[in-house]
Amino acid sequence: MPGGVSSPVRAFKSVGGQPIVFDRVKGPYAWDVDGNRYIDYVGSWGPAICGHAHPDVTSALQEALEKGTSFGAPCELENQLAEMVINAVPSIEMVRFVNSGTEACMAVLRLMRAFTGRDKVIKFEGCYHGHADMFLVKAGSGVATLGLPDSPGVPRSTTANTLTAPYNDLEAVKELFAENPDAISGVILEPVVGNAGFITPEPGFLEGLRELTKENGALLVFDEVMTGFRISYGGAQARFGVTPDLTTMGKVIGGGLPVGAYGGKSEIMSMVAPAGPMYQAGTLSGNPLAMTAGIKTLELLQQEGTYERLEATTKRLINGIIEIAKENGLSITGSSISAMFGFYLCEGPVRNFEEAKATDTERFGKLHKAMLEKGVYLAPSAFEAGFTSLAHTDADIDATLKAFRESFSAIA
Ligand SMILES: *Cc1c(COP(=O)(O)O)cnc(C)c1O
């Protein structure tokens, strides 16, 4: 396998050393093939918000397994999950399930073009929208970590329609609209950025994009593959009160199985085949196993106090990390929202990818290694957000902060 991994973000290229090979996961923990236990803050890159292998999810999966793994025909479970997503996410009136976040973003881009009859799209530097050609421009963590400015194999003619702006910079977006009249189908962004470390939208940024897109007859698309059902039950759009036209989802809605989705206003989604002419299909899309894991995960998230608990756990962790780093005389800036957090080893604020690059990646590599040795698994990149789950207890956070205390003092 290239680099020994099935996805580049799993490699340890940017932090040094070899990737850890996992044997099993449960709750907030992962065990490697040598039997070492880690407190896990990657959570399969987002899906494990209820903790790994939650018994309600695994037992529902066992039951679903008996009825078959794929129908290639409609199933009731799709309708159930669709209803849950529509009820939860303000912008979604109609939804199509796919098998990954990448697929959702590819499809949403086609839909943006089909609906507006325009070919260009605006994305932000450091935002990742999967690995489709059109989006592999200034695409954040995975690409940035490996130091690839772009990717070979992506035709210039394809990315010619991709315009980029710095995150949190409304003026730059305004200029792009002015320079490309009636040519821009829409603006796509991570409403909270998790693929360039952790960057939050400044007050007015999301609202400004909503206005600008409306004024220019373009669509606003939130890529909530990472933030959906994590920043709040209704995603970042519910938390920030800004409703896009279209939304992509993935990670949490699959509860650890491969699922993606895109949805939005019925008027726009009715363009999708067979309701409309925009073609998009999938042999395993909406399969009963994936739908079951998604439904059970969302049911668990609906329990009283879920997001308050996630918020409190994550705040305690990030506040602790920042305090300990400062005690050791290290530059640090960091924050959290709900069950997502991140820090940079530099002075803040970090409002965009350019500012994020000030983080001390060499020191982060040392920190990463020290934390691993103390049984804490952080994402192997200085440009990834961290994820907490309902399974992380106060004792897990205490143990993590103890490991940070020892590690920061060792690398200071
Ligand atoms: C992970 C991610 C994707 C891609 O999803 P995959 O399931 O890995 O294809 C797209 N957008 C965002 C914001 C993501 O975090």
Q: Give the tens place of pLDDT for each residue, 195-210.
A: 999 999 999 999 999 9
Is 190 near ligand 1, meaning CB less than 6 Å away? yes
Give the mean pLDDT of 255-268: 98
Q: How far does residue 382's CA lie from ligand 1's centre (Å)?
A: 18
121 bridge partner residues: 162, 186
Q: Please, which pLDDT band fits residue 146 given cuts at 50, 70 and 90?
A: low
Is 102 near ligand 1, meaning CB less than 6 Å away? yes
Q: Which pair of tokens denotes residue 244?
A: 């896009």
Right CATH for 2-54+305-411 from 2.170.150.70, 3.40.50.720, 3.40.50.740, 3.90.1150.10 = 3.90.1150.10
Ligand 1: nearest atom to the Cα of 103: 9
| CA-proximal residue: ligand 1, atom 15 (nearest) | 226
Q: How far does residue 366's CA lie from ligand 1's centre (Å)?
A: 27
Residue 32 CA: distances (Å) to CA of 4, 204, 375:
16, 44, 11
- Active site amino acids: 128, 223, 251
Is 135 near ligand 1, meaning CB less than 6 Å away? no
Q: pLDDT above 70 covers what percent of the chain?
A: 97
How does pLDDT run across 279-304, given as a tens digit for each residue? 999 999 999 999 999 999 999 999 99
Q: How far does residue 254's CA lie from ligand 1's centre (Å)?
A: 12
Q: How far does residue 128's CA lie from ligand 1's centre (Å)?
A: 7
Contact yes or no for 226/385 (Cβ under 8 A): yes
| Domain 2-54+305-411 shares a fold with domain 55-301 | no
Q: Residue 130: what pLDDT?
A: 95
How does pLDDT run across 381-397, given as a tens digit for each residue? 999 999 999 999 999 99
Q: Please, which pLDDT band fits residue 151 given cuts at 50, 70 and 90?
A: confident
Question: What number does CATH give the domain 55-301?
Answer: 3.40.640.10
Q: From start to end of 183-339, where are the E strands? A: 184-189, 219-223, 246-249, 260-264, 333-337
Is 381 near ligand 1, meaning CB less than 6 Å away? no
131 pLDDT more than 90: yes
Nearest to 284 by CA among 70, 73, 105, 103: 70
Q: Please, which pLDDT band fits residue 156 given cuts at 50, 70 and 90?
A: confident
How does pLDDT run across 399-408, given as a tens digit for each residue? 999 999 999 9
Is 250 near ligand 1, meaning CB less than 6 Å away? yes
How far is it, in rounded angstroms, from Cα 124 to Cα 163? 8
How far is it, in rounded angstroms, from Cα 29 to Cα 273? 42
Q: Please, which pLDDT band fits residue 141 given cuts at 50, 70 and 90?
A: low
Is 226 near ligand 1, meaning CB less than 6 Å away? yes
Give the mean pLDDT of 37-46: 98
Q: Please, which pLDDT band fits residue 233 given cuts at 50, 70 and 90?
A: very high
Give the mean pLDDT of 269-287: 98
What are the residue ranges spanned by the domains of the chain?
2-54+305-411, 55-301
How far is it, in rounded angstroms, from Cα 63 to Cα 308? 31
How does pLDDT run across 340-377, given as a tens digit for each residue? 999 999 999 999 999 999 999 999 999 999 999 999 99
Query: Which of 128, 136, 138, 167 has most ligand 1 atoms within 8 Å of its beta carbon, as the pocket-test mutant?
Result: 128
Q: How far does residue 251's CA lie from ligand 1's centre (Å)?
A: 7
Q: Residue 394: what pLDDT?
A: 98
Is 129 near ligand 1, meaning CB less than 6 Å away? yes
Q: Please, which pLDDT band fits residue 153 given cuts at 50, 70 and 90?
A: confident
142 pLDDT more than 80: no
